[in-house]
Amino acid sequence: MHGRFLIGFLFTAFLVPVTRVQAVPPQEAKVHQRKINREKEKKDKKAQKEYEAAVKQHNKNQSKETRAMMKKSKKEAPKNTPVQKKNSHSGSNRKSCR
């Protein structure tokens, strides 16, 4: 009698935690993840707008001459920036040099 009780108890003790692990169905998990992704996108979009507004405000605070200089610098920056060559040793095939 004790053997059956012990086996039943152990079976129940191990079965209950396993069934609780799978409490959230996969579909609900996907919906929840999509909701999290949407909220993150909204938050990122809001942060980008706030950043752009701060840059615009910063530019407005500058004198006319400074704004002109900043505009000129922004236009000339690509010309003055050296082109970076792609490293042929990048990737997983790279051997260590010793």
* Confidence band, pLDDT 50/70/90 cuts, at residue 47: very high
Q: Tell me: the pLDDT tens digits for 70-86? A: 999 989 988 888 887 77
HSE-up (13 A, CA, CB side) for residue 17: 4
Total domains present in the chain: 1
Burial class (CB in 10 A: 0-12, 13-18, 19+), 43: exposed
Query: Does 94 fall in a domain?
Result: no
CB distance 70 to 78 below 8 Å: no
Query: Does 37 fall in a domain?
Result: yes
Total-model pTM: 0.48
Query: Does 5 fall in a domain?
Result: no
Q: Which domain holds residue 47?
A: 25-74
Q: Tell me: the pLDDT tens digits for 18-29? A: 555 556 678 888
Per-residue pLDDT averaged across 62-74, rounded?
A: 92
